[in-house]
Structure 1
Amino acid sequence: MIYRVLLGLFIFFVTICTLVFVNKPVDNSVDKSIVLPPKVAETQNNDSQNLQAKAPIIESVFDTASSAKKTVEAPDIAPLFDILADSEPDSDEVPAKSKDKATKSKGHGQIAIVIDDLGYSKYTRDIIDMDQNVTAAFLPDAPHVTEYMQRAADKGHEIIIHMPMEAGHFDKEEKSILKIGMSKDEVYERLDAAFEKVPLAIGINNHTGSKYTSDYEALRPVMFYLRAHDKFMLDSRTIASSKVPDAAEDLGVPYLVRHVFIDHFDDDKEIDEALSNVERIARENGFVIA
């Protein structure tokens, strides 16, 4: 099935509209009730500019002062996260977060493809060896994950961690899973272990996690960790009530939200419809994460 998906991805010929995320002022103060472990605390003590809060928006908000990194004429199915480094404004004045600032270029758009479950999937090596660059999301407990990560990086793919989080409808105990009720130290330790196995990761997205991502308080130590380590989170949006955007914005963590699951169903017709939806959103919205 995955070959069907990958084949479908390459039929799109949509030109890109460069996306630059805008920021909003947030409270940068660290919750005094949370004592950070050594790795986090050490980073917190660095120059405060390294932890400048930035909460990129979701959906269709754009900054019209776009980066020159990409040209608008070039067709692109590209990883999304390379633009996060350019998302902060040059001046201290933060532009207002408003959908009125959206730049929707009809017929133009960027498609960002995130491939989940890498490491355990039998297609891991095939995906890594693709010429088209994608964002590779590796499960941290997978065998040989560090070796696969390095191979993917050598091929030019961007790396994130597909972090296991507690689901709402089934119990699947994985070594690295984050669960509601864990202490902040347990959360930090599991994130530390995951990034030690996948050290080139620039952020995380959630593997399952419908229960965990619906709990604002459970997400707080995750967001403190990500902010302290200059990482971001992609909300896989396994549930509509996800609190990832709220927690990320409140604690100044860059975040993104997936729009479409391409292969949620192992059915050719469903996949074709999902691909059509990807193209439509890219054209209407300027970008899509799938």
Structure 2
Amino acid sequence: MRKKRSSTSILIISGVLVVLVCGAILADWALKKRESGREAHTPYERALIDELLIKGCLFDLGIAWDEVHIEERSVVVRTPGEFTEVEIVEAFSRLGAQAKVTIRDANRVELIFDGHPWELIFEKPREKLVRIAIIVDDLGLDMNVAKQFSAIDADVTFSILPGQPHSKRIARYLHAQGREILLHLPMEGNGKDPGAGAIMAGMNRAEVEAVMASNFKNVPHVVGVNNHMGSVITADEVFMGIIYHDLAKRGLFFIDSLTTNRSICSEVAFRMKLPFNARDVFLDNEQEPAYIRAQLKKLVSIARNYRDAIGICHPYPATLEVLAEELPRLRKEGVSVERVSSFVNR
């Protein structure tokens, strides 16, 4: 059974019809006013009449008035539609001898009313900005790998594990390269050893704060934190409150890697007013170029729908290969790769 239209839908449709009818009436009024003789009108009134006539002809092409932008005698039409010369000439034929219409090219038309030219330009609507952030996790073990990822021609963000052989050296190197750095904070998770500098469920507040302080000394120049593992800790409101309190004192933000669907990181961050965001896609759970490309495409698709999206990857050879090839190409397609700090809700 077909659903009845709501009263809101009826009101919207009625409103649109009113606008369309009013547009047609105003265009006809302008044409009659112009035909009645221009000598009776001031220059401002004549320009206004011409403007209404142009909008009326564009209306015949199915172009809404909010797609028409007029500045002095230049008319810019931003519409996804494409029109042939025949369609344009036919739409403006209602003016008769009142105006001379000249098609300059596929996107530009010149109209002349009594020696006064108007330029009409058809443009495609500006595409909305598509932004992605990519975090490279698990740095700290290999200096050469860090340098290779740093050479990627895109503004990716780097997350460094504490207590690793090259953690501090890599942080200093990336900072000198102008790269954005996060602390990749190890946390207790699914039973695997999270490594040095981990927050464990048996710790008290003082122990958590001491571990955090040591980690920040080992990984300098950080602007934020994301979790390494952590399915136990990120689901614990008390622990996340302690961690967020420490981050707030340091002026840092938190990115939830979302290693569990039981994470309460977002709720606690909102309550504590801590700058926050969360991962959308893991790019390289499988270390195959085809898989990574597909995940990167998924990340961009999310960004196109929601304006931005955050991906997390790891320092694998296949990941390096794909990012080095795909990120410059995506930039040419209008996808902006930006630092994750620009994605947090402050």
Same fold, TM exceeding 0.5?
Answer: yes
Match of 2:243 in 1: 222
Match of 1:102 in 2: none
Match of 1:124 in 2: 146
1:143 to 161, 165, 180: 165
**5 Å matches for 1:241-280?**
241-280=262-301
**TM-score, normalising length: structure 1:** 0.61
**5 Å matches for 1:196-211?**
196-211=217-232
Q: CA deviation at 1:276?
A: 1.4
Question: Take 1:193 and 1:111, find their aligned partners in 2: how far apart are those partners?
Answer: 31
**5 Å matches for 1:15-54?**
none
Question: Take 1:190 and 1:139, find their aligned partners in 2: how far apart are those partners?
Answer: 13
Counterpart AA for 1:232? F
Is the Cα–Cα contact under 8 Å of residues 284 and 292 in structure 2 kept in the other structure?
Answer: yes
Question: Take 2:304 and 2:170, find their aligned partners in 1: how far apart are those partners?
Answer: 33
Query: What SS is found at the alignment partner of 1:123?
Result: helix
Query: What are the Cα deviations for residues 253-278 of structure 1, in whole angstroms up to 9, with x where unaligned?
Result: 11110101010112333222211101
Counterpart AA for 2:171? M
Higher RCO (CA-CA < 8 Å; seq separation 6+): 1
Is the Cα–Cα contact under 8 Å of residues 166 and 212 in structure 1 kept in the other structure?
Answer: yes
Question: Take 1:151 and 1:173, find their aligned partners in 2: how far apart are those partners?
Answer: 25
Question: Take 2:243 and 2:289, find their aligned partners in 1: how far apart are those partners?
Answer: 37
Q: CA deviation at 1:123?
A: 2.0
The runs of at least 4 aligned residues of structure 1 exceeding 4 Å deviation read none
Match of 1:235 in 2: 256
Counterpart AA for 1:152? L
1:158 aligns with 2:180: yes
Q: CA deviation at 1:130?
A: 3.0
Question: Take 2:290 and 2:205, find their aligned partners in 1: how far apart are those partners?
Answer: 44
Question: Take 2:167 and 2:234, find their aligned partners in 1: how far apart are those partners?
Answer: 25
Q: Tell me how large the CA RMSD over aligned residues is.
A: 1.6
Is the Cα–Cα contact under 8 Å of residues 133 and 156 in structure 1 kept in the other structure?
Answer: no
Task: Specify which structure has the higher proportion of strand.
Answer: 2
Counterpart AA for 1:261? F
Query: What are the Cα deviations for residues 103-149 of structure 1, in whole angstroms up to 9, with x where unaligned?
Result: xx865310111100011256222112334221110001111221211
Q: CA deviation at 1:241?
A: 1.4
Is the Cα–Cα contact under 8 Å of residues 233 and 240 in structure 2 kept in the other structure?
Answer: yes
Q: CA deviation at 1:231?
A: 0.8
Counterpart AA for 1:142? Q
Question: Take 2:198 and 2:177, find their aligned partners in 1: how far apart are those partners?
Answer: 28
Q: CA deviation at 1:173?
A: 5.1
Query: What are the Cα deviations for residues 163-209 of structure 1, in whole angstroms up to 9, with x where unaligned?
Result: 100112x2305220001131001110111011111120011100011
Structure 2, unaligned runs of 5 or more: 1-125, 312-346
Structure 1, unaligned runs of 5 or more: 1-104
Greater Rg by CA? 2
Is the Cα–Cα contact under 8 Å of residues 158 and 182 in structure 2 kept in the other structure?
Answer: yes
Task: Specify which structure has the higher proportion of helix.
Answer: 2
Question: Take 2:181 and 2:297, find their aligned partners in 1: how far apart are those partners?
Answer: 26
- Identity of matched residues, %: 29
**TM-score, normalising length: structure 2:** 0.51
Counterpart AA for 1:135? T
Is the Cα–Cα contact under 8 Å of residues 226 and 255 in structure 2 kept in the other structure?
Answer: yes
2:216 to 162, 177, 195: 195
Match of 2:100 in 1: none
Query: Number of residues paired by the alignment?
Result: 185
Is the Cα–Cα contact under 8 Å of residues 108 and 282 in structure 1 kept in the other structure?
Answer: no
Question: Take 1:187 and 1:212, find their aligned partners in 2: how far apart are those partners?
Answer: 11
